[in-house]
Amino acid sequence: MRNLQPVAGQAQPVLELAGVRVSLGGRPVLQGIDLSLRPGELVGVIGPNGAGKTTLLKIILGLLRPDQGKVRIGGHDAQASRSLVGYVPQSYTPDPDLPLTARDLVALGLDGARWGFSLGGRNRRAKVDEALNWVGASSYADQPVGRLSGGELQRLLVAHALISEPRVVLLDEPLANLDLRSQDEVVALVGRVAHERGVTVLLVTHDMNPILGVMDRILYLARGQAALGTVDEVVRQDVLGQLYGHHIDVVRVHGRILVVGGPDVEALTCTTCDA
């Protein structure tokens, strides 16, 4: 893997991958991935379908062991550090008639990694209220989740992930199926999660443009390889050409970035085009 921005001299890394290799069904998915992320850093994870983005998240969540290499969170093995990682899934569409309120959904984040007695009633409610307020969801705290908009639901999922006070938060396509206004609101919220709360954030997306203003670095995956650095360091013809193994054009227009190449970058090309 090509790490274009060393982190020497910075805060102790929260998330580290060293020489991670994974094959699924005999097909190499991740090949020698090295990654070192600091507290409060927001990293966009970009790449075409099949590039290994989902596999990377599973590795960090401790749901999948790499064939080779090590994954450490807060200095400990990922398998023993699941409580340090919060997760916002790619899609969550509750039944409109589900008797679960916004407050209930956020509260569930307190119990996922706990055994035995849960947090007491008064303290529990105070913690849930704090999480709801922090993501701007207090006004619909008692509404059924099945009747909320996509943007409102995303705020709740972020609160659910944060309430256990993780050191790392993973978001899998949180902007999918949101309108532009909701995308902007979620991006601003995620930026606050990283830069104000000091949480290390990995945000998986097909389109880097909505998060250009908040992400500190970009992790670009293609053909099992990866490049990590700032957007200017990574999203270049020479770097992406090496990742894909063929010529890639990078077009910058009106503050947006368009990656154009062969059929394996078609998904990125389409999602970065204005309709």
pLDDT tens digits along 260-270: 876 555 444 43
pTM confidence score: 0.87
- Please give the Cα distance from 230 to 56 (Å, whole number): 20
Q: What is the pLDDT of residues 95-119, one digit of tens each?
A: 888 889 999 999 999 875 443 334 5
Q: Is the pLDDT of residue 256 over 60?
A: yes
What is residue 114's predicted lDDT score, i.e. its pLDDT?
43
- Please give the Cα distance from 269 to 262 (Å, whole number): 10
Q: How far apart are the first and last CA of the chain?
A: 34
What tokens were used for 141?
């705290």
What tokens were used for 266?
């078609």
Cβ(205)–Cβ(44) below 8 Å: yes
Q: Match 């200095």 to its residue by tokens.
A: 75
By C-alpha distance, which of 251, 107, 88 is closest to 175? Answer: 88
Q: Is the pLDDT of residue 247 over 50?
A: yes
- Residues paired with 44 in a beta bridge: 203, 218
Backbone angles phi, psi at 249, to 5 degrees: -105, 135
Q: Is the pLDDT of residue 10 over 80?
A: no
What tokens were used for 265?
């970058």
150-162 and 121-134 helices cross at what angle (nearest 10)?
130
Percentage of the chain exceeding pLDDT 70: 88
Domain 2-271 in CATH 3.40.50.2000: no
Q: Match 């500190």 to its residue by tokens.
A: 216
- Please give the Cα distance from 161 to 170 (Å, whole number): 9
User: In angstroms, what CA-CA distances link 10 with 36, 41, 234?
Assistant: 11, 11, 20
Burial 89-100 (b: 16+ CB within 10 A, else e): eeeeeeeeeeee
By C-alpha distance, which of 64, 164, 52 is closest to 113? Answer: 164
Which three-class secondary structure state does DSSP give residue 100?
coil
- Please give the Cα distance from 216 to 231 (Å, whole number): 8
CA dihedral 49, 38, 193, 1 (to 10 degrees): -10
**pLDDT band of 272, cuts 50, 70, 90:** very low
Average pLDDT over residues 213-233: 95
Q: Is the pLDDT of residue 228 over 70?
A: yes
What tokens were used for 200?
């290390």
- Please give the Cα distance from 190 to 185 (Å, whole number): 9
In what helix (H) or strand (E) does residue 186 lie, and over which residues does it extend? helix 180-195
Q: What is the pLDDT of residues 159-183, one digit of tens each?
A: 999 999 999 999 999 999 899 999 9
